[in-house]
Each structure stands twice: as structure tokens, then as C-alpha cells.
Chains A and B, each alone.
Chain A
């Protein structure tokens, strides 16, 4: 376990170095958040009751999304993993007494976390002091705050476990581009990044909510804003945990198979 912790540490420290990128990111996310809110504002002006989320629930959703962008963005992948596969540097990683799946998993967690840590606080604080209804509200209750944190962590791990599948697919395709584009646009839409899932038509929503995509950012952000509660919430949390187990299990199994067939590129 210690080796994974030190591995985490070295990556995490490495990630904290990029301050300028973090400042730029914060500004971008503010602007983006405001634009989204203004757009929705225009729709809500027409008829607020026609929408499945209250406007201040939506505002909380959007600010959380912007603050924790680095945790949930599927397109935020590790380029050095792809290049280690296509160039053959993976030879060294395989020559270490470490489980490759775990190593890559930790690598993803640490660089995503280091990005999120730098960015989330300023966004959360400023969003909390904005005038209503544009501000980030406090959580509905201590319980829902606790469940928010819990599902945030699990959802984050679901994202990483899903990305692992994209990496492993690269063993077979060598060019990561195709798999990446397909997997990422699917995730982008079905996880609720573009528009929150409650906005989808009921029948589509019912199916999407069963997929792992709904277990990513959708669940924690909606729990926080109180858009989901009661038995629906409990079954969603159980489904989220189930998806995490399934995705990790599938990834590990697939990785094992891939490694027996792997050809290390280059002489």
C-alpha cells in the first residue's frame, strides 16, 4: 500500500506546480458558469414551473460542477499513459513489482485531485456569496451534505474506473483517438455535463439513470441541491456503488487479458 501512497504523493506534488494553469482554469470556470446560468435564466423567465429543477437548485448544480470539474471531466486523461503504451515505455512499468491497474488508477486520482484542490476553493467561496438566486446554496441538511461527500468520492472513482477502460482499449487500437472521442462524447452527454440529467425526456432519462454515467457527477450534485431524495436517492447510491465494483472488476480482468497479449512497441 505504501508504494501507492508514495506514488500518489510524487504525482500530487507534481500537479500542484502548475499555478498559472490553475488561475486560468478558475477564471474560465467562472465565465463558463455565468454563461450557463444566464442561458438557463432566459429559459426560466418563460415559465419556471416547466422545468424539473428549481433555478437555485440549478445554480448550485452548475457551481459544484465548475468547482469539481477536474474530478469529473472524462476528457481529462493522462497523456503519458497513452504515450507509454504507444511508445513502449510501459516496459519499465511492467518491470516493477506493482499492479499496473492500481498504479494507473492512483496516477489518475492524484493528478485529478491536485487540479481540483487548487481550483475548487476559490470557486466555491465566491459562488456562495453571489446574490440569490445565482449563488451556491448550503446543503439541504447535514445528512445530505454527508451523502454529497460520500457520493462525490464514489462518483469520482467511477469516472476514473471508466477512464481506465479507455486506457486499456489503447492496448488493442494503439491510437487512442477513436475510442477516446466516442467514449468521451458519450460520457459528456449522459453524465449530465452539458445539461443536468433531469432535463432529459422522461423515457430517455429512465434508461440513462441506470447507466454508469448517471453515477458520476449527476448523483452527488443533485443530492447536494436536494433535487433527489428518499428511496430514489438510496437506490441511486446503491447503484453507484455497484457500478464502481463492476467497472473496476471489468477493468482489472480486461487488463489481465491485455497484458498476456501485449506487444511492447519499439526495439
Chain B
């Protein structure tokens, strides 16, 4: 469905130091720095896949999305999406995709949302019945019935974002690009948006590519992760794999009445207060079951919880590992 091979893109950025003097100087001679936003990025995404595209700020996520949606022309490399090169056949290509840029708005500011939707219908030449079906489905799923008649400028961020997502799906796109779709949303809206994306992917087999900084998004939505840093793809794998590889430690929190503990191989005490202790297990040396057995021999346990490393920690350790 999507095939990127050796995509590279360099940006020229003008730089100057602070101050009036420097500003005057840059009038005469401007200094440019070249920034390699993308270096030989290659990956393939199959139809119906849902992929989380993660990386720190400035890693090249948005640039990749812009290239894939035909907005940006790369310096070199090829990109074939559903048989077309986005920047060469832009108009043909964008008919088949839906894009949401979380930080921008595609709704017309002064008119009710429904007017924007109808304009979008005409732009994409969507069949009236298809449009009506999609609209009623989206209205129900995203709870839009109240908001459709309101001008976009009077919507809250959460309402607006749900309208943005609806707007990008009205024409039945095969591929959906979501660039930080949950940015700034409250918990309820986030969950609504996630459930919705999941459903679209399942029911319509829409290929979804999602960039986000919200690791819960990734955890809730995607099976596959692409990690990008400094313009290069560093990792391409499933979420479970990633966690397994990087999460060899588990934490046990224990509450007990009385008892005394010693550290053994693979079991270290992280903190200990009266009646409460936190242990870290290295699962390569010691299984969780074995660790619990050891602990219960030494104390009268009243409560116990085991937690794995959170995905945030996994990602931070990945960033560290690749030094990005």
C-alpha cells in the first residue's frame, strides 16, 4: 500500500544570533544552515495496518507525513502509495487519503461545521448517499449532533478536533494520516477519538498512520511502531516486541505485616518503609512467580502488585539508546 524507499529531504534554515547588530548584519549576508530532516527513510506499510509513528520533536515525523500526503517534495528517493507518487500526482493521490493535522484547522472559521462538510463533499465529489451515510455514522460515533450547526470558531478544542477527524473521513479515504490527533484533548475526548479510529480501521480496513507524543495513544491503537530520530528510521517492530526487548525489569510493590528481606540475585530492594516495600526484579535472572514465592516466605503479605515498565519509560530508554 505504502512504500517509501530512501526518501531524503534537506531544509535550509536561516540563522542569526540575537540582537540588533546581528540583525543588521544578516541584512547583508544571511547565513544558512542545512538541516537533514530525513535521511534515507524507507519502510513499507500494508493495507489495513495501523502504524504508530513516534520520535522526539524535530525528528522528521511531520515531514514524512507531508511527503506522504503530497504536500512536500523530497530531494531524493521514491514513494509509491497505492500506485501513485504523491507529489507527482498530487490531485489524484489526495482523493484517496484523509489527513488531520492536529495543530491546524481545515474547517472554515466563520461558517457552521455542516457547511464546511458540504463543501468538502463537493470538493471530493462524494456521492450524496455515501456522504449522508458517513455523516450520520460519524455524527453518532463522534457525538457531533450538537456541534454541526455551530460555527467552527465557537467550538471547544475537543469538539473541533472531533469535527476535524470527521471532516477527513467523509470521502471514505483508503488511508488516514493523523498528525497528533489527540493533542490538547481531555481524557474523555481522547478515549472517544481512539475508539473511533480503532473502529474505522477494523470496519473499513482503512490504513492508519498516526504520529503522536502520547504513548497511551500508541498503546491503545497501534500494533506496529516506527521510531524515527534525527531523520532516520531507528526501529520498526511490534509494540509487544519492543516492550519485551526493552523491559526486562518489573516492579513489585508489597504491603506486609511483619517480616524481613534480603536481596538475592535478580531481586533488589528499591525502597523500604514500615509495612511497605518496592522491589525491582530482573526477569532474565528471576521469574516473577519465583520472586513472589521468595517474598512470601519472608513476610506476611497483605497486598501485592506487579507492574511492568510503562511504554513511556521504554521510549525514553530507546531515545537514550539511540542518543536522540
| Residue ranges of A at the interface with B (Cβ–Cβ < 8 Å) | 2-3, 5-7, 10, 13-14, 17, 88-89, 91-92, 94-99, 259-264, 266-267
Contact = CB atoms under 8 A, between A and B. Distances in A.
Interface in B65-118: 66, 69-73, 87, 90-92, 94-95, 97, 99, 101, 103-106, 108, 110-111, 115, 118
Contacts of B128: none
B256 to A, nearest CB: 50
B124 interface: yes
A88 B102 CA distance: 13
B99 A95 contact: yes
A195 B66 CA distance: 48
Contacts of B72: 262-264
Given A10-B108, A99-B91, 8 more contacts: A3-B123, A6-B118, A7-B123, A95-B94, A95-B97, A98-B91, A261-B73, A264-B71
A111 to B, nearest CB: 12
B125 interface: yes
10 contacts: A3-B123, A6-B122, A7-B119, A14-B110, A91-B101, A92-B104, A95-B97, A96-B123, A263-B72, A267-B62
A265 to B, nearest CB: 11
Nearest to A17: B110
A94 B71 contact: yes
Contacts of A267: 57-58, 62, 103
B11 interface: yes
B69 A95 contact: yes
A97 B123 contact: yes
A89 B106 CA distance: 8
A92 B119 CA distance: 14
Given A14-B111, A263-B11, A3 B71 contact: no
B104 A89 contact: yes
A89 B91 contact: no
A3 B73 contact: no
B73 A260 contact: yes
A7 B106 CA distance: 14
Interface of B: 11, 57-58, 62, 66, 69-73, 87, 90-92, 94-95, 97, 99, 101, 103-106, 108, 110-111, 115, 118-119, 122-125
A3 B51 CA distance: 33
B119 A6 contact: yes
Nearest to A94: B71
Smallest CB-CB A-B distances: 9 pairs:
A6-B122, A92-B106, A97-B95, A94-B71, A95-B99, A3-B123, A3-B122, A97-B91, A260-B73
B111 A94 contact: no
Contact of B124 (A17, A91, A97): A97
Given A10-B111, A267-B103, A94 B125 contact: no
A14 B112 CA distance: 11
A114 to B, nearest CB: 13
Nearest to A6: B122
Contacts of B111: 10, 13-14
B226 to A, nearest CB: 18
Given A92-B106, A267-B62, A98 B123 contact: yes
A138 to B, nearest CB: 40
A260 B103 CA distance: 23
A88 to B, nearest CB: 7
Contact of A3 (B58, B103, B125): B125
B122 A89 contact: no
Contacts of B105: 89, 92
A95 B123 CA distance: 11
A69 B238 CA distance: 62
Contacts of B91: 97-99
A162 B260 CA distance: 85
Contacts of A266: 103-104
A262 B70 CA distance: 11
A97 B94 CA distance: 6
Contacts of A2: 122, 125
A259 B71 CA distance: 8
User: Chain B CB within 10 Å — which of A10, A17, A89, A266 has the most?
Assistant: A10
Contacts of A92: 99, 101, 104-106
B87 A95 contact: no
Given A10-B111, A10-B115, A89-B105, A95 B70 contact: yes
